[in-house]
Amino acid sequence: GSYDRSLRIFSVSGGHSREVYTTKRMQRVFAVRFSGDATYVFSGSDDMNVRCWKAKASEQLGIRLPREKHKQAYNDALLERYKHMPEVKRIVRHRHLPAAIYKAAKMRRTVVESDKRKLQRRIEHSAPGSIVVQTERKKKILAQVE
């Protein structure tokens, strides 16, 4: 849950969200829990509502025929096999976002890109090795306890 009035589900090892849930009426999301069988996600927001979402948005719930199960397994295998292809990756990664969230992300992207350009120019115009660049994931770690 987040302040931008959306709920995002991330993969354990992934940096990008797997699912994005939002509604027009939903306010800031403060509490999020998975159901016991990890089929649903429950979210509590500022507007005093508890919402129930599917953990996998495209998954069909309810009773499925054996042919449907086989077809879904085949489609998942195809996605896994060709996930590195640019066309497949683009379709799988695509998410519709509300305009406010999209514009805020676009603004943040502009700021980050300008910071990267500034750092690159500082590196170019300084002595070699004087500026040490840290990766984004390492920047977030403030202290490491042994």
Residue 22: which of 53, 59, 46, 49 has the closest Cα? 53
- Residues 55, 64: contact at Cβ < 8 Å? no
**118 within some domain:** yes
**132 within some domain:** no
Q: What pLDDT digit, counting tens, does each position of 14-26 carry? A: 777 888 888 888 8
Examine the pLDDT at 2 and tell me if it is beyond 80. no
What is the sign, positive or negative, of the torsion defined by CA atoms of 102, 104, 108, 114? positive
Is residue 78 domain-shared with residue 26, that is, in the same domain?
no
The amino acid that residue 72 corresponds to is: Q
- The half-sphere exposure of 123 on its side-chain side, counting CA atoms within 13 A, is 11
Is residue 44 domain-shared with residue 81, that is, in the same domain?
no
pLDDT given for residue 44 in this prediction = 93
Is residue 8 domain-shared with residue 55, that is, in the same domain?
yes
Q: What pLDDT digit, counting tens, does each position of 68-104 carry? A: 999 999 999 999 999 999 999 999 888 888 888 899 9
Please give the Cα distance from 94 to 103 (Å, whole number). 16
Query: What's the domain range around 5?
Result: 1-60
Please give the Cα distance from 63 to 55 (Å, whole number). 17
Phi, psi dihedrals of residue 121, rounded to the nearest 5°: -70, -35
Is residue 30 domain-shared with residue 84, that is, in the same domain?
no
Q: How confident is the model at residue 57 (pLDDT cuts 50, 70, 90)?
A: confident
Give, as one character, the DSSP assignment of residue 127.
-
Is residue 39 domain-shared with residue 14, that is, in the same domain?
yes
The amino acid that residue 120 corresponds to is: Q
Specify the residue for token string 């797997």.
Answer: 18
